Amino acid sequence: GNSVTQMEGPVTLSEEAFLTINCTYTATGYPSLFWYVQYPGEGLQLLLKATKADDKGSNKGFEATYRKETTSFHLEKGSVQVSDSAVYFCALTTLRGGYQKVTFGIGTKLQVIP
C-alpha cells in the first residue's frame, strides 16, 4: 500500500534559519504530492503541490521538488519566520478504482523562536 514517511519533530529553529523537512513515499502508480500546513487551532490547508516528476511546487517562500528517483518531496524554506510555526503534513494521492486515495504522513511540528 501507499505510505508517507516524515519525522514527527518538533523541529526547533531560530528566525531566519534554513528549513528542511524530509518526506519520502512509497506508492503504486503515479502519485501527486502535497504539503499541507496546520496552524494552531485550525484545520489543514494546502501549502503547495506537485503532480509529476521534477515538478516544483512553491508558495509563501516554501518549495518542494517531486523527485521520482529518490521517491522524495522535501520541503524547504530559505528563511523561516515565527509565523511559520505550525505542523506540516506531507501527503500523496493516487487513483484507485476511481477514488483518489489520500495518504498523509504523521506531521512534523515546526517551532521558530525569535
Partner 1 sequence: DADVTQTPRNRITKTGKRIMLECSQTKGHDRMYWYRQDPGLGLQLIYYSFDVKDINKGEISDGYSVSRQAQAKFSLSLESAIPNQTALYFCATSDPGTSGSTDTQYFGPGTRLTVL
Query: Exactly one of 32, 57, 73, 86 binds partner 1 (CB under 8 A); which one?
Result: 32
Applying CB under 8 A, does 75 fall inside the site for partner 1?
A: no
Applying CB under 8 A, does 2 fall inside the site for partner 1?
A: no
Nearer to partner 1, 49 or 77 (CB): 49
In angstroms, what is the minimal distance from the CB of 11 to partner 1? Answer: 15
Q: How far apart are CA 33 and CA 83, in angstroms?
A: 24
Residues 56 and 64: beta-carbon distance below 8 Å: yes
Choose among 10, 18, 24: nearest CA to 85.
Answer: 10
Q: How far apart are CA 83 and CA 68, in angstroms?
A: 31
* Residue span binding partner 1 (CB under 8 A) among the ranges 11-19, 57-65, 73-81, 100-108: 100-108
C-alpha grid cell, residue 21: 523537512
Nearer to partner 1, 17 or 101 (CB): 101
> Cα–chain-centroid distance for residue 102?
13
Query: Exactly one of 8, 15, 16, 54 binds partner 1 (CB under 8 A); which one?
Result: 8
C-alpha grid cell, residue 100: 483518489
Q: Is the N-terminal amide bond of 40 cis, ω within 30° of 0? A: no
Residues in contact with partner 1 by CB under 8 A are 8, 30-32, 34, 36, 41-46, 49, 51, 89, 93-95, 99-100, 102, 104-107
